[in-house]
Amino acid sequence: MENMKKKTLTINGHEVEIGSEKNLLEVIRRIGIEIPTFCYHSELSAYGACRLCLVEVEGRGIMASCSTAPEPGMKIHTDSKKLRAIRKINIELLLANHKRECPSCIRSSSCTLQNLARRLGVEEIRYKQVTEFQPIDESSPALTRDPNKCVLCGDCVRMCKEVQGIGAIDFTHRGSHSKVAPAFESNLGSVECINCGQCVQVCPTGALTPKQEREDVWRAIHDPEKIVVASIAPAVRVGIGEYFNMPPGENLAGKLVAALRLMGFDYVYDTTFAADMTIVEEAEEFLRRVQAGGPFPMFTSCCPGWVKYAETNFPELNANISTCRSPQQMFGSIAKEALPKILNIPRENIVVVSIMPCTAKKFEAKLDKFKTNGIPDIDHVITTAEVGTMIHSFGIHFAELEAEAFDMPLGFGTGAGVIFGTSGGVMEAALRYAAEKINGKVPHAIEFPAVRGSERFKETTIQAGDKTLRIAVVNTLSEAKKVASEAAAGKSPYHFIEVMACPGGCVCGGGQPITNDRTSKIKRMNGLYKTDKNMQFQKSQDNPTVIECYEKFLDGRPNSHKAHELLHTAYENRDSVFDARYLVQKGSSPKCVSIAVCVTPANDEDHKAERVLNSMISLADALGVSSRVDIEAAYAPASATGRKAGEVMIGTVKLDGADMEAVKRVLAEELAKLS
């Protein structure tokens, strides 16, 4: 009877109860035995490729524990002479194929391959070392891809496809020629990758790493002419501790400020200040949309991963994305505008270093639209892990530092700005602002528990007079895709949607220290909420330095002309990245209006590709603007994209290519925008 109630199996001779685990690996790990794995992540599908989690099941032989379901009565051995030999050979084979430059590899000491080789006692590699190496892909401003260090576990592939819904990289070729690469083995920088760096977080080796900018920062620090300014993002303070083996989730902003000063940063500011400014601008924008009746839903714009995703997959939603720059870019433009006046130094001598939990921020900072006179507003972006490496290299005992305060004025933030670092935080901060403005009085409760937590989809409502505004919060892009598709189809019930690309938000960004602690996500989130509670101010609108900044530099009020110039932006149509495209005629001007003709089977003469293309070419000639337009043929399957034959996209405006009047009008408008 006893056996009927409890389902058990034995592991190394000990009886263990079977819980809700999906596979043997989870059962074995629960009882405290750390079975080695490369390709197993509980949030991804089981893949069974690395063959390290092998166990012996009596009567069945050797099996991969990650893809074997636990069954009552199983007798399992996790270690034996045979298993040891197999695991060791697997590691030896991987090492023979590996570019072994461990001392100079960025992942040295956090590398699973290195750790397993040590743990399993691999002291000799009996196989011939691969000596011909493939080129390293440095094309992306955010990520470096070194195929010579790839162990083909496929973690990055599944992360990108399953969690982010993108699939920018995949396995190509087969057998000994197998590799993980973007489509057509092109560069990561030229495909649909959104730079989120979640692949970096799951990569067990140095095959995918954040692009390193540490040396550029040291160079600036060592340059006596330069005033080097740091801006620390909210999520960094609860992640940095893990780099130094401290418990996750503790707010270590004070120690980080002290460390940066020791290293030679001249001023250390808080991105939270810019986050408060973002909220003032963004919530004002939302309230204006509420008054004007749209366009809804409004999407947040703080996450550069999401913004690139939207520009690439849903360019028709560009008008729905808040025009506010992200806190990083707001900080950059305010710092470069205000600091020369405050510190009395020339603008070109200021170097702004942004410290971010994010790899996509590196991409964002390098966009042309965030440069002033050719100089980027944010000069360098380093990740939490990079700043950890820098502190380490300086010889600072981080854990023992005395906490120091941020510099003023750009170092003053509120609790609303701090929670920007977690999924739901931007929305909560905006609601704290909006709720007060809509109702004209200070609300009693300022916490919005409905938008908190690590769930990928959260929703709530707020009341604006007799109107109920529907709010949604999503993280991961596979979740964002659902709300964006709904919005693109004009069927979204929401008014305001926060999107963060990384699971759980910035606290779990691609630039955070790599950790095996599966509870650290929630601990980092809680760390930010705890900080929020302890802050002097909890609402962005109460931030006195933000108010002062508006008075001194931004014509005194949110959404002013100056505020628009410094704090807002416009979005691109990156649709072309995917489509099979053929450049029919390229303009000679540095900036051209793109005229893309949709080429797909037509049912009538007027919409035949050749005809529409020729009419575009002759129109440009007739108007004398050939040098200022790019004419392209875009091959888009009507079946999947909802595009019609002969449809023309001028800039971001879609219209019927046979309607020459409309084409002429839109072309004139787009050309006018250019000049």
Partner 1 sequence: MDKATVAAETAARMQDAEEVLRENNYDKARLVPILQGIQARYRWLSKDLISYVAKAVGLPPARVYGVATFYAHFTLKPKGKYIIKLCDGTACHVKGSTPILDALRTKLNIKPGHDSSDDMLFTVDTVSCLGACGLAPVMVVNDEVHGQVRPADVERIIDDVLAKEKKQSK
Interacting residue ranges for partner 1, rule: CB under 8 A: 161, 166-174, 181-185, 191-192, 578-582, 584-585, 597, 599-601, 608-610, 613-614, 617, 633, 635-641
Closer Cβ to partner 1, 166 or 356, answer by number: 166
Q: Which amino acid is at 292?
A: A
- Minimal distance in Å, beta carbon 579 to partner 1? 7
Closer Cβ to partner 1, 394 or 582, answer by number: 582
- Minimal distance in Å, beta carbon 595 to partner 1? 12
Closer Cβ to partner 1, 69 or 660, answer by number: 660
Q: How far, in Å, are 68, 196, 240, 248, 289 from residue 477 at the CA level?
A: 30, 10, 25, 25, 25
Closer Cβ to partner 1, 219 or 586, answer by number: 586
Give the whole-angstrom CA distance, residue 632 versus residue 634: 6
Give the whole-angstrom CA distance, residue 413 versus residue 538: 9
- Minimal distance in Å, beta carbon 576 to partner 1? 11
Residue 163, classified by CB atoms within 10 Å of its CB into exposed (0-12), middle (13-18) or buried (19+), is buried
Closer Cβ to partner 1, 577 or 662, answer by number: 577
- Minimal distance in Å, beta carbon 477 to partner 1? 12
Give the whole-angstrom CA distance, residue 240 versus residue 385: 7
- Minimal distance in Å, beta carbon 500 to partner 1? 22
Give the whole-angstrom CA distance, residue 347 versus residue 365: 17
- Minimal distance in Å, beta carbon 616 to partner 1? 9
Give me the DSSP letters along 569-621.
------GGGTSEEEEEE--SSSS-EEEEEEES--SSGGG-HHHHHHHHHHHHH
Closer Cβ to partner 1, 442 or 580, answer by number: 580
- Minimal distance in Å, beta carbon 609 to partner 1? 4
Closest CA to 459 of 504, 484, 422, 495: 495
- Minimal distance in Å, beta carbon 296 to partner 1? 27
For residue 297, cis peptide bond before it (omega within 30 degrees of 0): yes
Closer Cβ to partner 1, 451 or 636, answer by number: 636
User: CB within 8 A of 567, min separation 6: which ones?
Assistant: 277, 278, 281, 324, 325, 330, 333, 334, 554
How many C-alpha atoms does 81 have within 13 Å on its Cβ side?
0
Q: Diameter of the chain by CA atoms?
A: 91
- Minimal distance in Å, beta carbon 11 to partner 1? 37
Closer Cβ to partner 1, 584 or 662, answer by number: 584
Give the whole-angstrom CA distance, residue 57 versus residue 68: 10
CB 277 within 8 A of CB 558: no
- What does the DSSP 8-state code read for residue 319? G
Closer Cβ to partner 1, 450 or 625, answer by number: 625
Closer Cβ to partner 1, 457 or 578, answer by number: 578
H-state helical runs in 13-149 = 24-30, 81-96, 112-119
Closer Cβ to partner 1, 246 or 617, answer by number: 617
- Minimal distance in Å, beta carbon 619 to partner 1? 13
Strands 350-356 vs 380-383: parallel, antiparallel or unpaired: parallel
- Minimal distance in Å, beta carbon 96 to partner 1? 24
Give buried/exposed letters for 632-646 (b at 16+ CB in 10 A, else e).
bbbebeeeeeebbbb
Q: How far, in Å, are 27, 94, 118, 202 from residue 52 at the CA level?
A: 16, 11, 14, 16
Give the whole-angstrom CA distance, residue 574 versus residue 578: 9
Closer Cβ to partner 1, 181 or 221, answer by number: 181
Give the whole-angstrom CA distance, residue 484 versus residue 487: 5
Residue found by looking up tokens 């007027």 in the block: 606
- Minimal distance in Å, beta carbon 205 to partner 1? 20
H-state helical runs in 326-369 = 327-343, 360-365
